[in-house]
A and B are shown apart, each in its own frame.
Chain A
């Protein structure tokens, strides 16, 4: 196992943002089981290019995200490929809790009374991080919710599967473009837990192996190959 270029354990109910360079990887580990990572991507060179959940789902004919899937931008390119995943089914259609919903569900837990053990919402967390890059609520697109499995039953009814949570579950994203990553560790909106889940997530930044011709993600779907070709065109112009 290679030594991470950088590592940090993000506490539960917190937010962060950073840039990842093309050819590096981000490994996230749900240390205790039951964490959620809300995540958005932007192209730091043209922030109007951002992660697009519908294009990622329809392009790969999938509702769930797991190993082999690529996370597309709205411009037909790949921000990141899921090269490793021990969890198996990540959500990207449920968004975030709003601050009012956090209060209704878990009770009021303000900074004034609880300092950094306050209860932040995913929505508040994204707005806070996005503002650091001149981005606003207009830019808050449908996000990833890693380590949260949401399936559908008959007639499209959504259900959150708490049994999917596993201590030590991990996912590795290999970045195919330079990417601004915005993330939070606030609870998934459909998590039925009655106490606000404060679940830490260990973050490791790694050097990735080059993408070989037989790469699993590149070849997982023919669409992925064409999206990689769009990345190649983008980097020709840089």
Chain B
């Protein structure tokens, strides 16, 4: 569902451009709103959320899709935790559909999906591995890197039970906005994947804005 935001970029208290292949790690306070902006289009933003006050509570894909009865995320979706608590609400979305089934790319899964020779291509899970080790103060480790959201990614499920990876439905300037319902640690990998259409074969920067 397309829903425009009324927030103005010039009023944002925080703005940062995140290049492809980098991670973004920041605490969002309860009540704050975060926008993830697809600057050049067709870019996947692989995202995890944690309760900033207790990192054992985190975004849960299965709790979120079960409780809303739908596999796609869009405006009015409530993102739920592994304790089935509301963590964030999607308050605006100009893309219309985001994936939470496909998970993040990893060097290991790249060998399976594409070729054993693709082992050493950069991947989202490696960005997260570095993030948790460069920021031990967050108390996160590999076990915390779980089933994520792929903002701007289009992964339709068919009635026959197939899963297809379609060209992105995002475009330059499309965005998704989330309001924090608790203090939230945001961990994004701006996806470096070169082997499928999720980034249009050309990973590009995203921008994160906070109000």
- Residue numbers of A with Cβ under 8 A of B are 48, 52-55, 57-59, 61-64, 72, 74-77, 89, 93-96, 98, 100-101, 136-143, 151-153, 155-158, 189-190, 223, 226-227, 229-230
Contacts and interface: CB of A to CB of B under 8 A. Distances in A.
Nearest to A57: B163
Contacts of B116: 226, 229-230
B161 A158 contact: no
Given A54-B101, A63-B157, A74-B125, 19 more contacts: A48-B143, A53-B62, A55-B103, A57-B163, A58-B103, A61-B162, A63-B101, A63-B158, A63-B163, A64-B161, A72-B109, A76-B108, A139-B143, A140-B82, A142-B61, A151-B159, A156-B70, A156-B157, A223-B113
A75 to B, nearest CB: 5
Contact of B111 (A89, A151, A226): A226
A227 B84 CA distance: 33
Contacts, number: 130
B113 A58 contact: yes
Interface in B141-171: 142-144, 146-147, 155, 157-159, 161-165
Contacts of A189: 66
Complex A-B, nearest 3 residue pairs according to Cβ-Cβ distance, in ascending order:
A54-B103, A95-B62, A76-B108
Contacts of B69: 157-158
Contact of A72 (B63, B112, B143): B112
Contacts of A230: 108, 111-112, 116
Interface residues of B, number: 44
A76 B147 contact: no
Contacts of B25: none
A226 to B, nearest CB: 5
B102 A141 contact: no
A58 B65 contact: no
B146 A57 contact: no
B71 interface: yes
Interface string B36-57: 0000000000000000000010
